[in-house]
Amino acid sequence: MSDDVITIDGPAASGKSTVAKRVADELDLIHIDSGSLYRAITWQALRNGIVAAQATISHDFLDAMQVSTDLKGNSITFLVDGTDPGLDLRSQSVAAAVSDVAAVPDVRRKVTECLRQAAQSRRAVVEGRDIGSVVFPNARFKFYLDATADERARRRHAESTVPSSGVQEVLHALQTRDRKDSTRSASPLTIPSGAVVIDTTTLSIDSVVDTILSSVSDDAGKAEKEEIR
């Protein structure tokens, strides 16, 4: 298992997706979004008539599922049984069910295995909610992004394509998701041991990216000096 990765964890709308992609671009690394794989599995479950909200996902369904990867630019795309879900990953049906699917222990084990395979022999920036704590616990560089619930709701509302949803509705949805992520029995959302915590509430994307790049650069410089000694 490769631990030559940068892990970026955090709750919904903390900025981790945009930041992870930017960091990968700046360092010429591969970008892997674990959330897209959870959505892909949810999408396939719904296509097969599985009631995801009730977490009726069997071992047989997951064992039979073939997950492969395609590299588009510097980002990994996950294909399920040979099919790229594409924009369907962002459908309302998938969005409504993915947190329940992600709470299923067997699903999390499947995703962990796939993420480790995807990052094998690659230098990558991997984002998610348990990347530094469970998937790559020995990663050299770990970061945890956070922001106040109000700020995260404002951001999510600003990017929403559903104009009928008010900020308070978005806030309620985020708080519900936070609660599910933090209290699930399998790999709950937590700050990974050794992670650098960055409060993004008042920071620009550029500032957060610069903070991470500076941390990585400083650490790499120290390691080089140690080797010289």
Name which of 165, 227, 177 is nearest 10 in CA terms.
Answer: 177
126: helix, strand or coil: strand
For the chain, the domain total comes to: 1
| Residue 160 lies inside a defined structural domain of this protein | yes
Domain housing 18:
5-209
| Residue 190 lies inside a defined structural domain of this protein | yes
| In the block, residue with structure tokens 């299923």 | 104
pLDDT (tens digit, 9 = 90+) per residue, 77-108?
Answer: 999 999 999 999 999 889 888 988 998 999 99
pLDDT of residue 20: 98
Return the CATH number at 183. Answer: 3.40.50.300
pLDDT (tens digit, 9 = 90+) per residue, 13-63?
Answer: 999 999 999 999 999 999 999 999 999 999 999 999 886 555 578 889 999
| Residue 218 lies inside a defined structural domain of this protein | no
| Residue 219 lies inside a defined structural domain of this protein | no
Half-sphere exposure of 226 (CA within 13 A, CB side): 6
pLDDT (tens digit, 9 = 90+) per residue, 29-39?
Answer: 999 999 999 99
Name which of 18, 4, 13 is nearest 147 in CA terms.
Answer: 13
